[in-house]
Amino acid sequence: MARLALAASRQLLRRCQPRPFSSVSIPIARGYATASTTPGQQPQQPQQQPQQQPQRPAFDNRIKLVEVGPRDGLQNEKTSIPMETKIELINRLAQTGLRTIEAGAFVSPKWVPQACMDKSSDILQHLLINPPSSPKPLTFSFLVPNQKGLDNAFSILAKNPSAFATSPDDATASKPAVELAVFAAATESFSRKNLNCSIAESLATFRQVIQAAKESNPHGLSLRVRAYISVVLGCPFEGHDVDPHRVAQIATELLEMGADEIALGDTTGMGTAPRTKDLLVCLRAAGVRNEDIAFHFHDTYGQALVNIAVALEHGIRTFDCSVGGLGGCPYSPGATGNVATEDVVYFMETLGMDTGVDLDKVADIGEWITKEIGREHASSVGKAVLGARRRAQAEAKV
Ligand SMILES: CC(C)(COP(=O)([O-])OP(=O)([O-])OC[C@H]1O[C@@H](n2cnc3c(N)ncnc32)[C@H](O)[C@@H]1OP(=O)([O-])[O-])[C@@H](O)C(=O)NCCC(=O)NCCSC(=O)C[C@@](C)(O)CC(=O)[O-]
């Protein structure tokens, strides 16, 4: 039995080895076209190759954290979570200094019952009418997989036209920005499981969604659009060896369609430091700018912070995380939660990076929400912060 386990873990380690980078071809280098392509049209080819990436100054230590707990963190729960709990979670998170919160998903309730359309409509409506009090202007992000999701989101936005900003730069304390997120996959199997269509079909749909979100909707809105690519470092159905060039191709297509940001999802947590680096090298070679990339790591194999360190070193400054390490993906069997917000904040601050987030407040929320939904508290830092605080309080009483 022990020998079998050892053989299995050796096999797993072998599969995690990076491919020698010199053996793979460099992907197409393209610039980003404008979003003004019409559905069915090929993306515009740029007139000139993208220029050398402008590197961020060495002193730029600002980190943008995207809190995905209220959507990604809760979507996998088997029992229905009351809307009041979701709203309370968002309200509490809004007070921590986090500026971007993924709040819901306009997906088919037949596919993800927890992310039921009605609840996301209610949540969006509530957030527009009663924006949470927050020390900083907020952006709320909502997943939209197709035209129906977009119509549902727009029907709420159109009812409250002056209650939100269309870009994070225009958001104020009383007027949050709303952004939409489409989600592609890096493998055909995951695309079929998650979206019931091929990658090419999903991209054709996203072209229309992005264009409508940007300019061709009847409401005259132009919303920021984030574009996820799932399973970029490992697929539950096709294994570890996801082609980074394919990821780079999909990323450039989405950017050419007008997506404002590519969120690279290590959905299964199979990512390792060398393969994270390979992927970033490929993206850079494809002309994708660091400031257009976010990373979304799950911590299933405990590698999320290591991978974040690699991405940080390569100049990435936007990272997704989930309070209390909540999460999982309904179409990624065995995947555990997103990397915990508490762990990322602590890690960043120890490196001298500035997240603007109050660790103590986030630790309290991690404890509260995991108790509330009966989940294990998966943040080491969160538990350590709370433990240290309790010890200090006990000592102060003596
Ligand atoms: C894309 C579809 C809809 C295709 O699913 P489909 O079954 O091919 O769609 P359809 O067009 O045939 O419609 C089927 C039914 O769903 C309805 N429907 C159709 N669309 C919608 C909608 N938007 N909102 C509400 N209802 C919708 C539609 O009206 C119809 O209802 P019926 O006529 O049978 O009563 C489906 O596969 C789907 O919803 N998938 C989403 C799955 C999902 O939410 N996964 C989790 C999010 S992705 C993720 O977590 C990864 C990420 C982002 O975190 C990053 C990472 O970690 O990698």
Instruction: Report phi then psi at 173, rounded to 5.
Output: -60, -35
Nearest CA to ligand 1 atom 21: 108
pLDDT of res. 111: 84
Q: Which atom of ligand 1 is nearest to the CA of 183?
A: 53
pLDDT value of residue 24: 36
Report the pLDDT value the prediction gives residue 364, as an integer from 0 to 100.
Answer: 98
Asked, for residue 41, whether it belongs to a domain, the answer is no
Q: Is 147 in the pocket of ligand 1 (CB under 6 A)?
A: no
Adjacent-strand bridge partners of 296: 265
Asked whether the CA dihedral 367, 353, 104, 139 is positive or negative, the reply is: positive
Q: How many independent structural domains does the chain possess?
A: 1
Token readout for 2 is 């022990």
The pair of three-digit structure tokens given for residue 345, joined into one six-digit string? 């904040």
Q: How far is the CA of 112 from the centre of ligand 1 (A)?
A: 7
The CATH number linked to 206 is 3.20.20.70
- Written as one string, the DSSP assignment of 291-349 is GGEEEEEB-TTS-HHHHHHHHHHTT--EEEEBGGG---BTTBTT--PBPBHHHHHHHHH
**Cα 271 from Cα 210, distance rounded (Å):** 28
Q: Which tokens in the block code for residue 101?
A: 């919160």
H or E segment and range at residue 65: strand 64-67
CB count in 10 Å sphere of residue 51? 9
* H helices present in the chain, as ranges: 2-16, 83-94, 117-129, 147-159, 188-195, 199-211, 244-257, 273-285, 304-313, 341-350, 359-373, 380-397
Active site residues: 329
Q: What average pLDDT score do residues 293-299 get?
A: 97
Residue 196: pLDDT band (50, 70, 90) is: very high
Residues found in the chain? 398
Distance in angstroms between the alpha carbons of the first and the last residue of the chain: 52
For residue 231, give the ligand 1 atom closest to its CA.
Answer: 58
Give residue 56's pLDDT. Answer: 52
Residue 23: inside a domain = no
Residue 296 within any structural domain of the chain: yes
- Residue range of the domain that includes 378: 61-397
Alpha-carbon Rg for the chain, nearest whole angstrom, is 21
Dihedral over Cα of 322, 357, 386, 85: its sign = negative
pLDDT category at 55 given cuts 50, 70, 90 is: low
246 part of a folded domain: yes
Pocket test for ligand 1, best of 106, 107, 142, 250 (most atoms within 8 A of CB): 107
Complex ipTM > 0.90? yes
Using one digit for the tens of pLDDT, what is the confidence trace for 23-51?
Answer: 334 344 446 764 433 334 443 444 444 45
Residue 56 DSSP class = P
Encoding tokens for residue 336? 């555990």
Task: Enter the tokens of residue 347.
Answer: 């890690």
For residue 349, tell me if it sits in a domain. Answer: yes
In a domain, 258, yes or no: yes
Yes or no: say if 356 and 99 are a contact pair by the CB < 8 Å rule: yes
Question: Separation of 108 CA from ligand 1 center, angstroms?
Answer: 4
| pLDDT value at 10 more than 90 | no
CA 304–ligand 1 middle distance (angstroms): 28
Give the nearest ligand 1 atom to 147 CA.
Answer: 23
Nearest CA to 99 out of 173, 161, 183, 180 is that of 173
In a domain, 222, yes or no: yes
> How far is Cα 46 from Cα 50, in angstroms, rounded to an integer?
8
The answer to whether residue 359 is domain-embedded is yes
